[in-house]
Structure 1
C-alpha cells in the first residue's frame, strides 16, 4: 500500500518485533528481579512512585513490598497494560540491555525499511505500552546496534495515554506538530488502529504470521504483512 505522510508512529510488540520475545524473554527477566528492585531501590523516586501507583490500582494502600511483588506477578500473567508495571519493567529491562544481558528483537524487514524512510525524510516515532525507558533501551540495543538516531520521539501510556483511546493520538499529534492526516500509525491491534483513525490519523494493520492478532478483523484498515509492503512519500513540512 502507498501513503503520502510526514511521519510514521510505530507500535513495537507484534509490529516491529515478535510478541514471543517480549513474553518469553523480557517478562521473565523482569519478573525474576522485581523483589530485588523493590528491596534495594524502593526509596528511589521513580520506583517509589510506581509502587504507590500499584497500591492505588490494586486498592491496597498498605501493601508491603512482598504483596506489591505478588500483584506485579499477577499483572504479568494477565498481560495487563498497567503503567506502574511497565515503569518497573522498563527500569529492569534498560539495565539488562545496558549490561548486555538483553538484545532486542526486530523482524527482518523492519530495520532496513526504517532506515530508508528516515533517509527519505519521514519522521519516525514510537508509541508502545512499554515505558519510554524500555523503548529507548530497545532501540539502542538492537541486533544492528543503536537505532535511536532514527527516532524523533517516544510515547507510552504515561505521556500519551491508553492506546485504544483517540485522545492519546490527539496528544501525540499535538506533541509532534504533525497534522493528524499526515500521521500514519502501524499496529497489529485493531482497537489501536480504530482509535488512531478516530483522531484523524491514517492507520495500517500489520498482520504477521504467528502473532496473537494475525487473524483479527482489521475492518476497513489497509493491511500489510511486512514493512516492505508499505510505500511512503514524505512531504516537507516547511
Structure 2
C-alpha cells in the first residue's frame, strides 16, 4: 500500500447503510425528546439547543418547538451539526445499555487492522458527529476498534461534498494529496476529494451506481488496485 494515510467514510463504506437508517435514526427519533427534557441543564445539550435556535432563526424557540424541528431534520436526514451532536448523546445511551452494537463489515475490520499494522494512519470522515463515530467503533461487532484510528472528522470541518473540506483535512494531516486515499460510497464526495489530487476508491455495497472512480465491493479488494 503506497499511501501514508487513508480516510474512510462510515455509512455504506465500513458499515451497512441500513444500520443507520433502520437502527440509529429510529432510536434517536424515539428517545431524543425524553433525553432533551431530562438533560436541559447539561451544558452540551443547552449549547446544541441554542445552535438549533440560531439555525431556526428563532431566539425564543421553546424546547417543544426545537424538538419538533429536530424530528423533521431526522426524517429528512439533514446533516446539521447540533442535530448530529444530540443524536450522538442519545446513541451513547443506546450503545452503553446494549440496545444495539455498531455494525462493521468483517472485510473492513480485517483490512483496516492490516493497514494499521503496516503503519498507515487511518482517519474517519463522516457526517455523523465525532462522538457518534467513536461510539460506533468503540461498541462495534468486533469490540472496541477505536485504537485503529488516528483521528476523526465531521461536519465541523465542512460538508462532505465540498472541496474545501478536503483541503482543510489535508492541512490538518500535513500530507501531500498523492499520499492520501479516500474511501466512500458516494460519488459526489469522491469527486470533491479527487479535485485536490487525493486518491479515491468507491465502495459498492448496496447497489450504488458505479462512477469513474475505482470501485470495489470489499475492502479486501483495495490492495489489488
**C-alpha separation between the residues in 2 aligned to 1:209 and 1:97?**
25
Gaps of 5+ in 2: none
Equivalence for 2:32: 34
**C-alpha separation between the residues in 1 aligned to 2:43 and 2:130?**
16
**C-alpha separation between the residues in 2 aligned to 1:176 and 1:44?**
33
Equivalence for 2:214: 222
Could you report, residue by residue, the CA deviation over 1:174-209 in whole angstroms, capped at 9, with x for unpaired residues? Answer: 212222221111001111101111222111111113
Runs of 4 or more above 4 Å deviation: none
1:1-238 → structure 2 map (5 Å cutoff): 4-158=2-156, 160-210=157-207, 214-215=208-209, 217-218=210-211, 220-231=212-223
Asked if the contact 1:4–1:232 (Cα under 8 Å) also holds between the matched residues in 2, the reply is no
**C-alpha separation between the residues in 2 aligned to 1:194 and 1:54?**
30
How many residues align structurally? Answer: 225
Farther-moved stretch of structure 1 (133-142 vs 97-106): 97-106
Asked if the contact 1:117–1:232 (Cα under 8 Å) also holds between the matched residues in 2, the reply is no
Give the structure, 1 or 2, with the largest relative contact order (CA under 8 Å, sep 6 or more). Answer: 1
**C-alpha separation between the residues in 2 aligned to 1:171 and 1:52?**
26
**C-alpha separation between the residues in 2 aligned to 1:19 and 1:61?**
35
**C-alpha separation between the residues in 2 aligned to 1:136 and 1:168?**
20
TM-score, L = length of structure 2: 0.95
Asked if the contact 1:169–1:195 (Cα under 8 Å) also holds between the matched residues in 2, the reply is yes
Gaps of 5+ in 1: 234-238
Higher helix share: 2
Asked if the contact 1:7–1:123 (Cα under 8 Å) also holds between the matched residues in 2, the reply is yes
Q: How many angstroms does 1:232 deviate by?
A: 7.7
RMSD (Å), alpha carbons = 1.6
Asked if the contact 1:170–1:199 (Cα under 8 Å) also holds between the matched residues in 2, the reply is yes
**C-alpha separation between the residues in 2 aligned to 1:99 and 1:183?**
37
TM-aligned CA distance change 1:150 to 1:232, over 3 Å: farther
TM-score, L = length of structure 1: 0.90
